[in-house]
Amino acid sequence: MNYTTQMDAARKGIITREMEIVASKEKTDVETLRKLVAEGKVAIPANKNHGSLDPEGIGEGLRTKINVNLGISKDCPNIDVEMEKVRTALDMKVEAIMDLSSFGKTKEFRRRLIDVSPAMIGTVPIYDAVGFYDKELKDITSEEFLEVVEKHARDGVDFVTIHAGINQETAEVFKRNKRLTNIVSRGGSLLYAWMELNDKENPFYEHYDKLLDICEKYDLTLSLGDACRPGSIHDATDASQIKELMILGELTLKAWDRNVQVMIEGPGHMAINEIAANMLIEKKLCHGAPFYVLGPIVTDVAPGYDHITSAIGGAIAASHGADFLCYVTPAEHLRLPNLEDMKEGIIASKIAAHAGDIAKNVKGARDWDNEMSKARQQLNWEKMFQLAIDPEKARRYRKESMPEHEDSCTMCGKMCSMRNMNKIMEGKNINILREDE
C-alpha cells in the first residue's frame, strides 16, 4: 500500500521502517506509536530525501529530544568552523540540528550537513530568501518565499519553521497590546515587516494550501513558528502570544487534514510560575501536537549564563509536557556560539530533557539514575564516568584532584559517607584518623 507521509501511513494502518526504529529506541509498542502518529500526537520528521537519517520520534510518551542551532552568518561565514560544530554535536548524540544560516553559501552548508547527519535537520527558509534572491525583503514575492521552502525540502530538510500564525489578525492584536520587546523572533519580525511594507497578508498564511502541497510531497514536517513568542518575561502569556497560538491550532488541523505532520513552537522568555500553564494551554489549543520550546529562559538578567536560565525553564517545561527543547548557549543574546559554547549548551539541555523525562515517567528514564546511584554506592569510579552525561568532564575533575585513598574523593576523604556506610554495613571498623587495620 502506498503512502505520502508518516501520518498518512499511520492512518492507513501501515507501520513504516521509521516507526519501527523509533519504537525500538523508545522501548515502546510499535502499534501504540503508530496510533499516536495517526493522531498527530507524535511526529517523526523524516524527509524522503534525507538518506543518512536515523529517525527519532517527538511527542507524547517519548523521551524529550533536544535541538542544536548552527549555521553561518554575515559576520561568521566560515563553513568549515560550523562543520566542526556539526561533527561534535553528532558525537554528543543530539537528536536534531537546525541550520539557521542567513548569509553566504547557505546551500553548500545545508547540503553538507544533510549528507553527514543522522540527526534530523531543520531550517527556517525565510532566513535564506533574502540572500538567495539577492533582493531586499520588500521585493520578495509570495511565490518566491514558497520556492525557497521547496528548495530546502528538495535538499532533504526534515522540518521547517514557518511563521504562518503572524497573520493580519495577529498583527492587529500585537499593535493594540504594547510589548516591552516587540517581536523578537527573527523570522517573525521579517514576515511582520514584509506585511507592513507591502500591506499584504502573510504569504505563508494566505497560501497555506500550497505550503502543505510541498510538505506532503517530501514528507516535510511543519514546525509552526511562534513569531510572537515573548522576548522578555514581561511579555510572556500576553494577548499577542495567545492570539497567535490560537491561529496555530487552526493551522494544525488544516495540516493534519492533508496528513502533514506538525510541531508547535513555544516560548521564549517566561517566569517560572507561568511555564506549567503555558504547556497546558498549548496542548489544549493545538490539539495535543508535539510542543517545541525555545528555553524557556526564566530571567532576563543573566547574559553569559543563559544555558542555565534556559535549562531551568526547559526542565520545568519538559516535566509539564514539552516534547522538544531547543538548546541555548552561554553566548545567547551576545554573539554566535563557538564550539565550547555549543558543548555547554548541549549538556545543559540534555540535563533539562532528562530531568523532564523523570518527572513524566518516560519508560526507562529513572533506570539511568538508579545505575549511577548504584555505582556511587559501590564507589565504582569507572562506572560513574561511563554513566555520566559528560564523561570527559567527570574524568577530568577526578584526575585534577586525586585523594590519598582511592575509595574517596578530596572533598570528604575518609569521612566519605558511602565509604563508611559500606564498611559499617559489612560489619567492619571505621578508622578516620588512623590507617585501616
Query: Model confidence over 124-156: pLDDT tens digits?
Result: 999 999 888 888 999 999 999 999 999 999 999
Q: What are the two backbone dihedrals, phi and then psi, of residue 223, each rounded to the nearest 5 degrees?
A: -105, 100
**Per-residue pLDDT averaged across 329-338, rounded?**
95
| pLDDT tops 60 at residue 437 | no
- Residue 173 has what pLDDT? 98
Tell me the binding residues for [4Fe-4S] cluster. Answer: 409, 412, 416
6-359 fold: TIM Barrel (3.20.20)
CB 407 within 8 Å of CB 379: yes
- Residue 435 has what pLDDT? 76
**pTM value > 0.85:** yes
Tell me the binding residues for Zn(2+). Answer: 269, 333
- Residue 436 has what pLDDT? 64
CA 381, CA 23: separation in Å to the nearest integer?
33
**Per-residue pLDDT averaged across 84-89, rounded?**
97
Count of CB atoms situated within 10 Å of the CB of 436: 12
Locus of grid cell 563553513: 79
CA 132, CA 145: separation in Å to the nearest integer?
10
Query: Model confidence over 343-362: pLDDT tens digits?
Result: 999 999 999 999 999 999 99
| pLDDT tops 90 at residue 391 | yes
Query: Model confidence over 43-53: pLDDT tens digits?
Result: 999 999 999 99
- Residue 257 has what pLDDT? 98
Three-state secondary structure readout of the chain: CCCCCHHHHHHCCCCCHHHHHHHHHHCCCHHHHHHHHHHCCEECCCCCCCCCCCCCCEECCCCCEEEEEECCCCCCCCHHHHHHHHHHHHHCCCCEEEECCCCCCHHHHHHHHHHHCCCEEEECHHHHHHHHHCCCHHHCCHHHHHHHHHHHHHHCCCEEEECCCCCHHHHHHHHHCCCCCCCCCHHHHHHHHHHHHHCCCCHHHHCHHHHHHHHHHHCCEEEECCCCCCCCHHHCCCHHHHHHHHHHHHHHHHHHHCCCCEEEEECCECCHHHHHHHHHHHHHHCCCCCEEECCCECCCCCCCCHHHHHHHHHHHHHHCCCCEEECCCCCCCCCCCCHHHHHHHHHHHHHHHHHHHHHCCCCCHHHHHHHHHHHHHCCCHHHHHHHCCCHHHHHHHHHHCCCCCCCCCCCCHHHCHHHHHHHHHCCCCCCCCCCCC
Tell me the binding residues for substrate. Answer: 69, 98, 127, 163, 185-187, 226-229, 265, 292
Return the domain boundaries, the chain: 6-359, 366-425
Tell me the binding residues. Answer: 69, 98, 127, 163, 185-187, 226-229, 265, 269, 292, 333, 409, 412, 416
Which three three-digit cell numbers place residue 377? 554506592
| pLDDT tops 60 at residue 305 | yes
Task: Give, in degrees to the nearest 5, the angle at Cα 254 between 253 and 256.
Answer: 65
- Residue 9 has what pLDDT? 98
Quick one: what percent of the chain has pLDDT higher than 70? 99
| pLDDT tops 80 at residue 341 | yes
**Per-residue pLDDT averaged across 378-383, rounded?**
96
**Per-residue pLDDT averaged across 263-276, rounded?**
97
| pLDDT tops 70 at residue 233 | yes
Residues 6+ apart with CB under 8 A from 241: 226, 228, 229, 230, 235, 267, 268
